[in-house]
Structure 1
Amino acid sequence: MSALSRLTVTETRLFFREPMIVFFALAFPALLLVILGAIPAFREPDESIGGLRTIDLYVPIIVAMGLAMFALNSLSQLLASYRERGVLRRMRTTPVKPELMLGAQLLMSTILSVATMTVVLAIGRLVFDVSLPRQLPAYLLGYVLAALAMFAIGLLVAALAPTGKSAGAIGTVLFFPIVFFAGLWVPRDGMNDLLRTISDFTPLGAAVQAMQDATAGHWPQPLHLAVMLGWTIVAGGLAARYFRWE
């Protein structure tokens, strides 16, 4: 195994020793989908949203929420904690450079978030008869761009936060408005024009619409792809500029 592979395995084991992070990052999205699907009104077609059911709209929203949890509540907090405890500084004196730790964290977060997405899609399809994406390449493109944007934001939080606790606090503060505009409380189809316009320019608002379009069999709109790419470039560039290893 390469150093990156071994470090990823080790970081994954450490990740599973944090029960609260594991629950909210892995189990909570699927549990939330089951709870919402248990509401009878959410399983009935609604003409105001084109004959879809509310549960149909919530699957991509919950997938996006899972990404936000990994980026803002796991990745940022772990990296900031490692810097605070001097782990990254000590790694610079070994053959395993801190960049490998960063790569291992990103790889672990990507693999686990894809697993969460797969479980949510499987529950939606098998339990609530939610359609799978008709344009799978488009869906994966939207998901990858959403992951890049959110992980870039998570890295920016880790770069700016002085401690692991402050990274967790900043991540929590950012989490709620980001998932609000993704449609967690009010799906995008139920938002007024102003809120939907703001949502279009947020990373997860654009991601949810892109995944909804792909599920319906359409390619995402260029605006939403550009928004996610823009967040990746800006947040990633700032994270690279201000990230400190010690």
Structure 2
Amino acid sequence: MSALTRLTAVETKLFFREPMLVFFVLAFSPVLLVILGAIPTMREPSEDLGGASAISVYVPIIVAMSLAMFALTSLSQLFATYREKGILRRMRTTPVKPGVLLGAQLLMSTVLSVATMLVVLAIARLAFDVSLPRNLPAYLIGYLLAALSVFAIGLLIGSFAPTGKSAGAIGTLSFFPLVFFAGLWVPRVEMNDVLRAISDLTPLGAGVQSLQDAAAGHWPQPLQVAVMLGWTIVAGGLAARYFRWE
């Protein structure tokens, strides 16, 4: 097995040893979807939502929220904790470079987040009769771009947070405005012009719009693609520039 494969397997085992983290990162999004879908009015077509049901509108929002949980409550806190405890420094004395640990965490987070996304889509389809995305390649592209942008933000937080607790606090403070502009409390279609304009410039706002467009059979709009790539390049570049291994 390669070093990346072994580290990914080890990090995955360590991840599943934290029940609360597993619940909030993996299970919370599907549970939230079930709770929302159990409300009868959420399954009824709404004129305010262009004839769509509220639950169908919330599926991309919940998918985006699960990405934010991975990036802001798991990825950022883990690297700050590893640095704080000297794990990254000790890895420098081994043939395995600390950068491989970064790759292992990103690989684990990507695989688990995709699994969560598939579970959400399956629950929405089987339990609440929400149609699967009509343009699957566009959906995957939008999902990948959204994942890259929020993972870059998570790495940026982990690059300058001095401790694991501070990374968790910063991640939590970042989580709520990001999911607000993704439409968790007020769907984007119901936002006023000012809120929607701000949402368009956030990674999850752009991500949700791309997923909704793909669900309707369209490709992501150039603005949303540019916003997600911009967040990825800027946040990822700053994370690479200021990331401290010890």
TM-score interval (norm. to shorter): over 0.9
Q: Could you report, residue by residue, the CA deviation over 1:29-62 in whole angstroms, capped at 9, with x for unpaired residues?
A: 0000000001111110011211100000000000
Q: How many residues align?
A: 246
Provide the aligned C-alpha RMSD in A. 0.5
Q: How does 1:84-233 map to 2 (within 5 A)?
A: 84-233=84-233
Distance in 2 between residues matched to 1:82 and 1:105, nearest whole Å: 12
Counterpart of 1:11? 11
Measure the CA separation in 1 of the matches of 2:189 and 2:31.
23
Which ranges of structure 1 fall in alignment gaps of 5 or more residues?
A: none
1:87 and 1:103 mapped to 2: Cα distance?
A: 16
| Distance in 1, Cα, partners of 2:182 & 2:90 | 39
Matching residue of 2:38? 38
Partner Cα separation in structure 2 for residue 192 and residue 76 of structure 1:
32
Deviations 1:116-158 (CA, angstroms, capped at 9, x unpaired): 0000000000000111110001000000000000000000000
Paired amino acid for 1:176: F
| Whole-Å separation in 2 of the counterparts to 1:221 and 1:96 | 41
1:169 is paired with a residue of what secondary structure? helix
Partners of 1:154 and 1:217 lie apart in 2 by 30
Offset at residue 66 of structure 1 (A): 0.3
Task: Report the Cα distance in structure 1 between the residues aligned to 2:195 and 2:144, rounded to whole angstroms.
Answer: 24
Q: 2:134, 2:40 → 1: CA distance?
A: 26
Distance 2:14 2:135 in 1: 36
Structure 1 residue 160: deviation in Å? 1.0
Shift of 1:110: 0.3
Structure 1 outlier segments of 4+, above 4 Å: none
Distance 1:177 1:128 in 2: 28
AA aligned opposite 1:156: L
- Normalised TM-score (structure 1): 0.99
CA shift, 1:242, in A, is: 0.5
Q: What letter corresponds to residue 137 of structure 2 in structure 1?
A: P
1:8-29 CA-to-partner distances (Å, cap 9, x unmatched) read 0000000001111100000000
Amino acid at match of 1:164: G
- For the residue of structure 1 that corresponds to 2:111, the secondary structure is helix
TM-score (norm 2): 0.99
Per-residue deviation, residues 65-112 of structure 1 (Å, max 9, x unmatched): 000000000000011100000000000110011001000000000000
Counterpart-to-counterpart distance in 2, 1:152 and 1:124: 28
Aligned amino acid, residue 182 of structure 1? A
* Aligned counterparts of 1:24 and 1:94: Cα–Cα separation in 2: 33
- 1:221-242 superposed Cα distances (whole Å, 9 cap, x missing partner): 1000110000000000000011
Task: Note if 1:57 corresponds to 2:80.
Answer: no
1:238 maps to amino acid: L
Deviation, structure 1 residue 220: 1.1
Secondary structure at the counterpart of residue 220 of structure 2: coil
CA distance in 2, matches of 1:200, 1:184: 14
Counterpart residue identity of residue 59, structure 1: V
d(CA) in 2 for partners of 1:175, 1:106? 19
Aligned partners of 2:71 and 2:21: how far apart in 1? Answer: 11
Q: Secondary structure at the match of 1:120?
A: helix
> Equivalent pairs: percent with the same residue?
78
